[in-house]
Amino acid sequence: MIRKASAGDASELEWFKSSYSDSSNSNECVEIATTPQAIHIRDSKTPTAPHFAVTPHTWSAFISYAVGN
């Protein structure tokens, strides 16, 4: 896991909502922002709260696992 955003402040990141988020309540979603070094993940209900980041390899493994199960 990457603890510090390599792209600087989280406000500089371009966030977008997961396509799997519940469309009946647009305020309760997982959002991600990508940089070449990291995939940043946050809760849309608390956009100013800390977020976490993982390497692209870790994100790819997670998605492969999630899709496969």
Residue ranges making up the domain that contains 59: 10-68
13 CB-near residues (< 8 Å, 6+ apart) = 5, 7, 33, 35, 40
Q: Residue 2 falls within a domain, yes or no?
A: no
Q: What's the structural domain count of the chain?
A: 1
Q: Residue 5 falls within a domain, yes or no?
A: no
Q: What percent of the chain has pLDDT over 90?
A: 39
**Angle subtended at Cα 42 by Cα 40 and Cα 44, rounded to the nearest 5 degrees:** 140
Q: Residue 63 falls within a domain, yes or no?
A: yes
Chain centroid to CA 13: how far?
A: 10
Q: Residue 27 falls within a domain, yes or no?
A: yes
Q: Residue 29 falls within a domain, yes or no?
A: yes
Q: Residue 42 falls within a domain, yes or no?
A: yes
* AA letter at 17: K
Residue 64 has pLDDT above 70, yes or no: yes
Q: Residue 34 falls within a domain, yes or no?
A: yes
pLDDT in tens, 30-51: 889 999 999 999 988 888 888 9
pLDDT in tens, 18-32: 776 666 666 678 889
